Structure 1
C-alpha cells in the first residue's frame, strides 16, 4: 500500500499535537513517554534498518519491524517486560488513532495485534536500599562543585519526596516552598500533589538555589542543562548516568549498595522506610500519589522483617503450638534412643 506512503508523518504530527493533548487530555508525562518511544523507534528504523527518515511510511512499521525494535532495545537497554509492553502500547495507540481517522489504515493497526505482550515474571520481592545504604550514596557527590551540589540535591530531594524521575525533571523553581517545607509535584495522569520535605533538604535547596538560580526565576526548570545560553530541563538519561556513577563509587565503600541502582529505587526505598517507620498504607498511598491504593500493598508484602516482628509479638507467651505437639516416643527412654543410634 505504497499509496499511503506520505500519510505517516501528517498523522504522527496530529497524534502529538491534537489527539493526545486536546482530545485525550493526556498528561505531559504520557505525551513525553509516547514521544520518547517514537523517537527511539524512528531512530532504530533509520540507523539499524537504513530507512531514510523522510521516507519512513506506514509500510515500514510492520509487526516484524516492531518486534525487532523491541528485542533490540530489550537487549541493548535492558528493558523490563513492563517497559517493553508500555512501548508497544504507545506504538499501537498511534495506529489505532490513524485507523479511526482513515479506516483503510486499519490493516496496519490490526497487523500489530500479532506482536505479543511480554509476560512479566514479577514477584513481591521488591528491591530497595536500606537507610544506611542510601546515606552512603547521598554522601558521594561533592557539594563544593556546582555539579556535585546539583546531583546531591537532586538525589536527596527525590528520596525525601519519594518523587518519580519524570516528576523531578518537570519541576520548576517555584514548585519548592522553602517557608512551608513543601514541594508541588505533577504526577501521572496530571494529578498534582503537595508533599512535605525535611528541613535538611530545604537547607540544601537554599544552597542549590543561590548557586544555580541566582536570578531566582520561578518559571525556570529546577534541574537544567544549558543549551544555546538557555536553561533546558535535564534529561532522564543524564540522571541515570550520574546515579550509576555515584552508586558504583558508593558500593566500594558500602557493599550494601545494590549492583544496579535506578532512579525509581529512590522512590521505593523512601516508601519502604516510611512504611517501616509506621506510616499507614492509606497515608503512604496518598504520599506516593498512587491512583489505585492497591498498588501500595507491595510495600506490605515486601517487608519480611516487619512480618517477622509481628509474628513474634503475636506468638510471644503463646504455647498453643507447643502444647499441641505430641512428645516423641523416645523422650526420656534411653533404651529406645540407644537402639536408634545403633540401628537395631
Structure 2
C-alpha cells in the first residue's frame, strides 16, 4: 500500500483471543430454570441439553429431524448437517438419550416422520422453531439463574453453549484436533481459540491472586544500562 507524505499506516487491531463462555456450575443453574411439566419448559430444557452436549451450532440443532438422532445403539449419536453440506456424527451421552426419548414421546408421539425435531405449533400447524425463539428463552433462563448462581454471565446467547462445551472439554484434556473435528471446523486454527482462551483465563486468575503488595510486584528493579563498566565486570566475575 502506497502512503502519501505524512500519512501513517494504522496497525490492525489485534483480535481478542478469547471466547464468551460459562462454567458447568452456571450451566447447571440455567438448566434448572425450565419447568419440564409444561410443554414449552420440556422442549426448551431438552433443546439446551442437546445444544450443550453436541456443541452444535444453533442453526444445526434447528435443522435436525427425529431421523438424525440415532439413539437405540450402544454408542448413540447425532447426524449433524453442517456448513457446506458437510455431515458429521456427534456422540451424545446416555442421559441425553433419555431426555430425547421423553421429548419424542410427548412432542412426536414416537413417530420418526421427516419433520423438524424442534417446532412451534400455530393453529395446529407445525413450523420449524426460529433462532429468535431460542435466543429469547435462553436469555430468560439465564437471567433467572443469576438469582441463585453468580457465575452465570450477564449476557448468555445460544452460541455460548457451543463455546462453553468446547472449552470445558479442552480443560479436561480432550485434544484440540478431536475437538476441531467434533465441532465441524474446517481448519484446526479455528479451534486454537480455546487454547488461547484457557491461557487467558489462567493468566487472569493468577493476576487476581497476585495481590498489590505481593513480593513479585514490590521486588527492587534496576536497569543494567545504568551501571558503569567497572560494576558490570564485578557482577559477572570478570574482575
Shorter chain as normaliser: what TM range? 0.7 to 0.9
Greater displacement, 158-167 / 123-132? 123-132
- Counterpart of 1:232 in structure 2 is 127
Q: Please name the residue that 1:182 is paired with.
A: 77
- Report the alpha carbon displacement of residue 125 of structure 1 after superposing the two structures with TM: 2.4
Q: CA deviation at 1:230?
A: 2.4
Work out whether residues 104 and 110 of structure 2, in 8 Å CA contact, stay in contact via their aligned partners in 1.
no
Measure the CA separation in 2 of the matches of 1:155 and 1:209.
15
Partner of 1:277: 172
Q: Unaligned stretches of 5+ in structure 2?
A: 1-11, 204-221, 223-239
Aligned partner of residue 56 in structure 2, secondary structure:
coil
After superposition, the C-alpha distances for 1:128-177 in whole angstroms (9 at most, x for unaligned) are: 11111111111111111111110000000000000100001100011111
Cα distance, 1:298 vs structure 2 = 0.2
CA contact (8 A) 2:56 2:162 kept: yes
Q: Which residue of 2 aligns with 1:173?
A: 66
Give the gaps of 5 or more residues in structure 1: 1-118, 309-327, 329-344
Residue among 150, 167, 176 paired with 2:43: 150
Alpha-carbon contact 2:185-2:191 (below 8 Å) kept: yes
Whether the 8 Å CA contact 2:166–2:179 is kept in 1: the answer is: yes
- 1:294 paired with 2:182, answer no
**1:61-81: CA deviation from partner (whole Å, max 9, x where unpaired):** xxxxxxxxxxxxxxxxxxxxx
How many pairs were matched up?
Answer: 194
Residue equivalent to 1:265: 160
4+ long deviations beyond 2 Å: 119-122, 227-230, 304-308
Partner SS for 1:163: coil
Higher helix share: 1
Deviation at 1:304, TM superposition (A): 2.8
What is the DSSP-based 3-state SS (H/G/I as helix, E as strand, rest coil) of the residue aligned with 1:252?
Answer: coil
Shift of 1:235: 0.3
Note if contact 1:276-1:306 (Cα within 8 Å) is conserved in structure 2: no
- 2:111 matched to which residue of 1? 216
* 1:139 aligns to 2:32 (yes or no): yes
Decide whether aligned partners of structure 1 residues 241 and 189 sit closer, same or farther in structure 2, where only a CA change above 3 A counts.
same
Point out the structure with max Rg over C-alpha.
Answer: 1
* Cα distance in structure 2, aligned partners of 1:255 and 1:307: 19
Show the counterpart of 1:59: none
Residue deviations 1:274-332 (CA, integer Å, cap 9, x gap): 11111100001000000111100000001038867xxxxxxxxxxxxxxxxxxx9xxxx
- TM-score, normalised to structure 1, is 0.53
